[in-house]
């Protein structure tokens, strides 16, 4: 068996044993144990639910509100404009490089022709 499968079997066995102990404690144990178990169960259940509600309330109270959609749209538009500007600059640089290459090629051809003459 793989390690995960062993852990799964252990969790299953422990859970079933816990259920059986809980059933015994609530229905078959002495009356004071039954009362204690029921009080603890109620306390844990109510405390858990109210604790989750408190956590949700805290999160809502301390989280800053989101930006308005208009502000996000403006930021996106600005980023797009920057990208377009960078793209145009790169295209211009490429054009300049191409022109320089063409000029060099023309100069080489002229020199070859001059040498032939």
Closest listed residue to residue 37, CA positions, set 26, 29, 46: 26
pLDDT at residue 6 greater than cutoff 70? yes
- Check if the beta carbon of residue 25 is closer than 8 Å to that of residue 33: yes
pLDDT > 90: what percent of the chain?
65
Question: What are the residue ranges spanned by the domains of the chain?
Answer: 1-63
The DSSP secondary-structure symbol of 5 reads H
Q: What is the pTM assigned to this prediction?
A: 0.52
DSSP state of 54: H
Instruction: State pLDDT tens for residues 10-36.
Output: 999 999 999 999 999 999 999 999 999
- Alpha-carbon torsion 87, 92, 93, 94, what sign? positive
* pLDDT tier, 117 (very low <50, low <70, confident <90, very high otherwise): low
How many Cβ atoms sit within 10 Å of the Cβ of residue 54?
Answer: 10
Note the pLDDT of residue 60. Answer: 94
Locate 21 and state its tokens.
């102990």
């Amino acid at each position: 068996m793989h390690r995960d499968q062993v852990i799964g079997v252990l969790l299953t066995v422990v859970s079933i044993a816990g259920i059986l102990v809980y059933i015994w404690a609530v229905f078959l144990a002495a009356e004071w144990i039954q009362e204690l178990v029921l009080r603890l169960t109620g306390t844990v259940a109510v405390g858990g639910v109210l604790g989750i509600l408190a956590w949700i309330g805290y999160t809502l109270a301390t989280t800053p509100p989101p930006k308005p959609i208009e502000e996000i749209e403006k930021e996106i538009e600005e980023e797009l404009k920057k990208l377009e500007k960078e793209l145009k600059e790169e295209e211009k640089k490429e054009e300049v490089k191409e022109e320089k290459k063409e000029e060099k090629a023309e100069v080489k051809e002229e020199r070859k022709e001059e040498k032939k003459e």
